[in-house]
A and B are shown apart, each in its own frame.
Chain A
Amino acid sequence: MVSSQSSNITLDGEPVSFSAGETLYEIAKRQETIIPTLCYDPRLEAFGSCRLCMVEVDGIRNPVASCTTKASDGMVVRTTSPAIEKHRKVLLEMVASENPDIAVDPLRGYASQELGTLVDDYRADTGRFKGRQSGQSFQDDDNPFILRDYDRCISCYRCVRVCAEQEGDYAINIRNRGFNTQITTEFSGTLKDSSCTFCGQCVQTCPTGALADKKAMRAENDPGEIKKTRSVCPYCGVGCSVDLLSKDDRLVGVQPAMDGPANQGALCIKGQFAFDFVQHNDRLGSPLIRNEAGELEKTSWEIALDRAADGFREAMKTHGRQSIYGVASGRTPSEADYMMQKFIRAGFGTNQIDNCSRA
């Protein structure tokens, strides 16, 4: 019998225990040891293509990709060394040299700053290997949600993998190989003509902003910092956690909460892109009451609330307390529903209340 207890590796000189199946990268992350990555998304199968997460292991001649190497008992692992750091910097310089420029607006997507941050951290020279550029932007896709700026693509395949592994949509794929690799859809058409559901997951996992949130990007030049507010999607009953992006008190976009308990980073088209009803011009901005001509006209809260209360008082007086009915909503917060039932029960002593779940 193999003992399952006390499996240890030595990570940067410290003994660390691990459980079967854990990769070196996962152990390091757990220990808060930062290893740089570009092709890694914790929700996806490890891919091992960007080679940034290379670490040295005693007894193995060349460095290994920590994201795909499973720990075994007694391994001695170094996550950093002058050779490793030099290797990472050169890799970043090669990747970055293929792209027009590195800095992109964070509104492009959740992970859009990953490449730029690493280039800055490593002080990588983005012009060192200047030459031909890989990837070609797909300018003909007129969809209003997803920008396909493949000039910035580094072929990490995160978009392809998230579409397949996380969404199960298999809408995007890879054409050609090596330097000529191009992310594309079946028959190289628009996303609308593919099996894409516009969930936006490719946008949110892209580490360079090559795939980007067109709706959020409308606010790139707006003044103010981006504020993130954790909330829950307003649509179906799954209850996906989201971060609302606002700038100067305007709601400008939505990003999935990668640690959302119900969705673990996933969203659909509605949660991702259908947020802008909130600040739509059609919103009601003041109370309305019906005037003598039979039309609704703007009024103050005081007048409207008095009128609302008067009508219920009148109904109770004339037709009794059973004549008043409350319809609560499955779309409002629970406080509204609670208050509605309290209003009916404490106000009239009846149970004349329901919500919209019957339709």
Chain B
Amino acid sequence: MSNPLVDMQKPDVIFCIGTNMTECHPVAATGIKKALRRGAKMIVADPRRIALADLADLYLPIRVGSDVALLLAMAHVILREKLYDATFIDERTSGANAFLEHVKDFTPEWAASITEVPAADIEKAAILYAQADKGAIFYTLGITEHICGVDNVQSLCNLALMTGNLGREGTGINPMRGQNNIQGAGDAGAVPSNYPGFQPVTDPAAQSKFEALYGRKIDLEKGITKVTALDQCGKSIRAMLIDGENTLVSDPDRDHCEHALRSLDHLVVIDIFLTETAALADVVLPATAWGETDGVCTNTERRVQRLRAAVTPHGDARPDWWIIAEIGKRLGLSGFEFDSAKSVFNELCELSPIYAGLDWDRIDKGEYQWPVPDKEHPGTPILHQEEFKNGRGLFKVINYRDPAETISDDYPIWLTTGRRLQAYHTRTQTGRAQGIDYLLAEESLEIHPTDAAERNLKDGDWCHLSSPRGSVRVKVKLTDRSPKGTVFTSFGFNNVPINVLTGSGYDPITETAELKVCPVRIDPA
């Protein structure tokens, strides 16, 4: 997030797109509800009539995967109505001329034909957002899990840049991160493109720095992404160390994943349960769980906070960092002699410019949001206040593209996937928490009553849900939260493995899977 969570109570206009916040980030959503009570206006764009849509002043029921078209047309209207912030564009951005020329072609009427949202509502949304003194954008995986995920994000950035809604309280571009430490994983350098603290591996200076620190030559080339690595299993990739990820159930195209992991010569999995993924491993190493582990995590607003052990670890479980360090030592590597999570975290701080002002003791109360470049620095709740990281905010010229697969006679319904309030991911944890079953006992396919009636399906009937990659059996649940022509399900239940169906395409830059769009067919079971 460019802005802190407490800012969620402060905007005049809130634009939520591709975020089912009341279910996926319920506590963050309380901030939005407070802003609305204070009189803020809210625009919600989402294919499903989610709870947030019920609270919105303007709800845009966009067709799945059509976000770029909507955002281009909004930019078109803002330009046409001269509601852009000329001073901000002039002083803080570059590439505006090409962008503004580009959006002239994309009228609300054009977008209406793609998004299925009335042109008048697109106009209203654009004007409402652009006229805000403080306009804030919030999004989640409904923006990123598309073949055009990067285009979607850059389209949102374009809107914020042209209206000057960045770098001030109550504004910003605010992705809601889905996992407790997904921000920290990137911060710590667990990505193919960056060393810790987002120092690019392709930067020779960063390379020299880490070669000196780690005592060996390190490639100047980026590594491959996990998606490509799974494709390469049994070919160029022969051994894998997976820590705390149930790849088999969470990643798209399950059959492909299982085949990939089975074709490895050597698979080591570190986890707290014998997950579906761990069951395929040659070696399974038991990690300590949350509540048993001291450590650090970084939240969606870049706040660096301490996790603390409350109870003794289960059985002979050990901390993840210890396990990996022990494997390192056995390979004869030096620099793996750590005696505590504290010593590991402090080494991370020393190597990362964004964490340079932090250490284990300083984050005791969780008051710092990175970047914290030195020990005197108070942290950075709001990014881009004076200038952008690379100087000026760059407009990008983006064009709309159809999803990787579109509906056809064979697969006439759009499937979109996500989480539900009571469950988390593949339910390795919430599925084992007593009482959750009372509220959410099984998977269901949320379908519009008309779509169900056309297939002779009643509430609670079983159906076969099929895509070009496979078929699953799931109960239907009639609801008008799903629009006609679009169905929804989560991916949390192993007995309804939705990732058998998904995996139609990937964003060419991030290789994030298009988990939000998958044409399907529905037949009575």
- Interface residues in chain A, defined as those with a beta carbon under 8 Å from any beta carbon in chain B: 142-145, 165-168, 192, 197-199, 215, 227, 229-241, 244, 246, 249-251, 260-263, 266-271, 273-280, 282-290, 296, 301, 304-309, 311-315, 318-319, 322-347, 349-359
State whether B421 touches A308 (Cβ < 8 A).
no
Which residues of the other chain, A, contact B279 by a CB distance below 8 angstroms?
A: 296
B397 contacts the other chain (CB 8 A): no
State whether A346 touches B185 (Cβ < 8 A).
no
Q: Given A246-B310, A275-B433, is A332 in contact with B285 using a C-beta cutoff of 8 Å?
A: no
B505 contacts the other chain (CB 8 A): no
Q: Please encode chain B, from 252 to 283, with 1 for each CB lying within 8 Å of some chain A CB and 0 for all others.
A: 10000000000001101001111000110111
Q: Given A261-B303, A312-B239, A313-B331, is A329 in contact with B291 using a C-beta cutoff of 8 Å?
A: no
Q: Given A238-B25, A351-B192, is A277 in contact with B289 using a C-beta cutoff of 8 Å?
A: yes
A315 to B282, CA, bound (A): 14
B222 contacts the other chain (CB 8 A): yes
Residue with the highest number of chain B CB atoms closer than 10 Å, among A231, A318, A331, A333: A333
B453 contacts the other chain (CB 8 A): no
State whether A351 touches B283 (Cβ < 8 A).
no
State whether A347 touches B328 (Cβ < 8 A).
yes
The 8 closest A-B pairs by CB, nearest first: A285-B315, A333-B295, A239-B299, A237-B177, A168-B33, A311-B266, A330-B182, A144-B435
Residue with the highest number of chain B CB atoms closer than 10 Å, among A269, A275, A324, A335: A335
Residue with the highest number of chain B CB atoms closer than 10 Å, among A198, A268, A284, A296: A284
In-complex Cβ contact of B297 among A239, A277, A289, A324 (8 A): A239
A292 to B371, CA, bound (A): 51
State whether B241 touches A356 (Cβ < 8 A).
no
Given contacts A237-B299, A239-B299, 7 further A-B contacts (CB under 8 A): A197-B26, A227-B310, A269-B422, A284-B272, A284-B317, A312-B327, A328-B244
Which residues of the other chain, A, contact B281 by a CB distance below 8 angstroms?
A: 288, 290, 296
CB nearest neighbor in A for B34: A168
B236 contacts the other chain (CB 8 A): yes
A356 to B249, CA, bound (A): 12
Residue with the highest number of chain A CB atoms closer than 10 Å, among B24, B299, B316: B299
Q: Given A231-B308, A270-B424, is A278 in contact with B238 using a C-beta cutoff of 8 Å?
A: no
**A–B pairs, 17, beta carbons within 8 Å:** A192-B438, A234-B180, A237-B177, A239-B297, A269-B421, A270-B430, A278-B289, A296-B284, A304-B285, A305-B323, A315-B238, A318-B265, A330-B177, A338-B345, A339-B336, A356-B182, A357-B186
State whether A325 touches B240 (Cβ < 8 A).
yes
State whether B314 touches A279 (Cβ < 8 A).
yes
State whether A229 touches B308 (Cβ < 8 A).
yes
- Segment with Cβ contacts to A, from B224-232, B383-391, B466-474: B224-232
Q: Please encode chain B, from 353 to 375, with 1 for each CB lying within 8 Å of some chain A CB and 0 for all others.
A: 00000000000011100000000
In-complex Cβ contact of B236 among A167, A168, A276, A323 (8 A): A323
B28 contacts the other chain (CB 8 A): yes
Quote the shortest CB–CB distance from B136 to chain A (angstroms). 16
- Segment with Cβ contacts to A, from B79-87, B158-166, B212-220: B212-220
A233 to B318, CA, bound (A): 20
State whether A358 touches B300 (Cβ < 8 A).
no
In-complex Cβ contact of A327 among B26, B247, B286 (8 A): B247
State whether B310 touches A337 (Cβ < 8 A).
no
Quote the shortest CB–CB distance from B131 to chain A (angstroms). 25
- Interface residues in chain B, defined as those with a beta carbon under 8 Å from any beta carbon in chain A: 5, 22, 24-30, 33-34, 36-37, 176-193, 195-196, 201, 210, 214-219, 221-227, 229, 236-245, 247, 250-252, 265-266, 268, 271-274, 278-279, 281-287, 289-301, 303, 305-312, 314-321, 323-328, 330-331, 333, 335-336, 341, 344-345, 347-348, 365-367, 421-422, 424, 428-436, 438-439, 510-513, 515
In-complex Cβ contact of B179 among A284, A307, A331 (8 A): A331
Which residues of the other chain, A, contact B294 by a CB distance below 8 angstroms?
A: 333
CB nearest neighbor in B for A323: B238
A305 to B290, CA, bound (A): 22
A165 to B9, CA, bound (A): 12
State whether A327 touches B227 (Cβ < 8 A).
no
In-complex Cβ contact of B180 among A215, A331, A353 (8 A): A331
Which residues of the other chain, B, contact A234 by a CB distance below 8 angstroms?
A: 180, 290-291, 429
Quote the shortest CB–CB distance from B331 to chain A (angstroms). 5
In-complex Cβ contact of A199 among B26, B178, B283, B366 (8 A): B26
In-complex Cβ contact of A355 among B182, B292, B308, B316 (8 A): B182
Which residues of the other chain, B, contact A250 by a CB distance below 8 angstroms?
A: 311
How many A-B Cβ pairs are below 8 Å? 488
A346 to B424, CA, bound (A): 34
Quote the shortest CB–CB distance from B393 to chain A (angstroms). 24
Which residues of the other chain, B, contact A333 by a CB distance below 8 angstroms?
A: 181, 184, 293-297, 307, 320-321, 341
Quote the shortest CB–CB distance from A151 to chain B (angstroms). 23
Quote the shortest CB–CB distance from B88 to chain A (angstroms). 29
State whether A284 touches B282 (Cβ < 8 A).
no
A306 to B284, CA, bound (A): 12
In-complex Cβ contact of A359 among B214, B266, B435, B515 (8 A): B515
Which residues of the other chain, B, contact A325 by a CB distance below 8 angstroms?
A: 223-224, 226, 229, 237, 239-241
State whether A274 touches B433 (Cβ < 8 A).
yes
State whether A354 touches B310 (Cβ < 8 A).
no
A301 to B306, CA, bound (A): 28
In-complex Cβ contact of A287 among B244, B283, B320 (8 A): B283
Quote the shortest CB–CB distance from B134 to chain A (angstroms). 20
Which residues of the other chain, B, contact A336 by a CB distance below 8 angstroms?
A: 243-244, 287, 295, 319-321, 324
State whether A266 touches B282 (Cβ < 8 A).
no
State whether B181 touches A337 (Cβ < 8 A).
yes
State whether B185 touches A334 (Cβ < 8 A).
yes
Q: Given A278-B311, A326-B240, A329-B244, is A353 in contact with B184 using a C-beta cutoff of 8 Å?
A: no
State whether A237 touches B241 (Cβ < 8 A).
no
Which residues of the other chain, B, contact A231 by a CB distance below 8 angstroms?
A: 290-291, 306-308, 310
A168 to B271, CA, bound (A): 37
State whether B225 touches A358 (Cβ < 8 A).
yes
State whether B27 touches A238 (Cβ < 8 A).
yes
Which residues of the other chain, A, contact B176 by a CB distance below 8 angstroms?
A: 236-238
CB nearest neighbor in A for B502: A359
Quote the shortest CB–CB distance from A138 to chain B (angstroms). 16
Quote the shortest CB–CB distance from A146 to chain B (angstroms). 10
Q: Given A192-B439, A262-B303, is A332 in contact with B287 using a C-beta cutoff of 8 Å?
A: yes
Q: Given A237-B179, A285-B315, A311-B239, is A334 in contact with B266 using a C-beta cutoff of 8 Å?
A: no
State whether A282 touches B284 (Cβ < 8 A).
no
Q: Given A238-B25, A249-B311, is A337 in contact with B189 using a C-beta cutoff of 8 Å?
A: yes
Residue with the highest number of chain B CB atoms closer than 10 Å, among A289, A290, A346: A346
Which residues of the other chain, A, contact B224 by a CB distance below 8 angstroms?
A: 325, 352
State whether B432 touches A332 (Cβ < 8 A).
no
A267 to B190, CA, bound (A): 29
Quote the shortest CB–CB distance from B71 to chain A (angstroms). 22
Which residues of the other chain, B, contact A199 by a CB distance below 8 angstroms?
A: 26
